[in-house]
Amino acid sequence: MVDTRRPRGLTIALVAAVAAVLFAVAFAATRLSGLQGRVLPNQRTDARQAPGFTGIDGWVNSEPLALEGLRGKVVLVDFWTFSCVNCVRTFPFLRDLYQRYHPAGLEIVGVHAPEFDFERDEANVAAAIERHDLPYPVALDNQMTTWRAYRNLYWPHVYLIDAEGTIRFDHIGEGGEHEIEQQVRSLLVEAGADLPARLDNAEPTFTPHITPEVYAGFERGNAQRSLANAEGWAPGNITTYERVSPGDIERAGTGGRFFLEGTWRITDEYVEAVGSDARVLLPFYARDVFVVAGGPARAAVLLDDAPADGPGVVGGIAEVDRDDLFHVLRLDEPSERVLTLEVTEGFRLFTFTFG
């Protein structure tokens, strides 16, 4: 957690500089829903010795691994977290890559680096690994020690390590499957492997100009100015929000602002419905809408005030039976709409993400 409190004894100029750096870090270490697979300017081949897996709290699908013990293999290290839709969308490719090239000497190690507290729970991570059928070893980097050793800032982020333990390539965000596979093949050839046939994976398509990820908790949401209600918010407070008008929603636009109605408790990571009259309203532009939420609770899903079904919704109701990512809407094509969630007490809202 980034501490943005004013340091004691610093000059005004230094305080401003520190605040700017902390603000940048808070938004750099984030999911890449807004990037939609585009290459970042700082993406590069990073020819340095790969750090080991340090500070790991546990392993899933494997006994503890040491990078030194994988010498001679090509290693793909994937930083991810299970409520990140951008990470989830890379899983089919990573599964196929592992199945095709593992016999030729590729090892994939997923490094699960949590963003939210519920993602630190080993049982939650193990359930996500089983749900997504990930066959390769996963390290639980709950203290973000390996994340920091790699100087990483993003979910998802892939690093490719050659047989001598040197980072030769990295890719930030979704997409890039053909290039990642080509780099894997080149490194396997260097290691003396016989190559199988290439995968037949189509590059994913992305929706341009979609609504950026919306954080509901105060820590990141306040910096984003994501809450559009006039009542404002502060962590630790319980606030009752008035009904908002269609004009308020229209003025908010689709740039990543949401409204609360009813009574809510504000925390750094999420907002939680306290009463039975709680609603969330979100104007957006996208084809798919995902919600990171917790419960147990229920959410009635409305699209432009009409009940709607999505992949994670049955009969207009999303059953929030765990802390996780839920796919609540899938439209035929990207469009500008208004999502409303009418939620029961105990519903916790962390983020909205889009596709």
Q: Are 288 and 355 in contact (CB under 8 A)?
A: yes
**Would you state the pLDDT for residue 22?**
32
Helix, strand counts (H, E) of the chain: 8, 19
Query: Cα 193 vs. chain centroid, distance in angstroms?
Result: 34
What single-letter DSSP state applies at residue 47?
-
3-state secondary structure of 259: strand
The pTM assigned to this predicted structure is 0.87
Whether residue 264 contacts residue 241, with contact meaning beta carbons closer than 8 Å, is answered with: yes
32-190 belongs to CATH 3.40.50.300: no
State which CATH number among 3.40.50.2000, 3.40.50.10300, 2.60.120.260, 3.90.950.10 fits the domain covering 214-354. Answer: 2.60.120.260
E-assigned strand segments in 166-266: 166-172, 214-215, 238-241, 259-266
Closest CA to 152 of 229, 237, 40, 61: 40
Task: List the domain boundaries for the chain.
Answer: 32-190, 214-354
Query: Is the backbone peptide bond immediately before 156 cis, with ω within 30 degrees of 0?
Result: yes
CA distance 205 to 66: 36
Q: Which of 313, 327, 312, 320 is nearest to 278 (CA)?
A: 320
- pLDDT per residue as tens, the chain (355 positions): 222 222 223 222 322 333 333 333 344 455 544 444 444 444 445 478 999 999 999 999 999 999 999 999 999 999 999 999 999 999 999 999 999 999 999 999 999 999 999 999 999 999 999 999 999 999 999 999 999 999 999 999 999 999 999 999 999 999 999 999 999 999 999 999 999 999 998 777 788 899 999 999 999 999 999 999 999 999 999 999 999 999 999 999 999 999 999 999 999 999 999 988 999 999 999 999 999 999 999 999 999 999 999 999 999 999 999 999 999 999 999 999 999 999 999 999 999 999 9
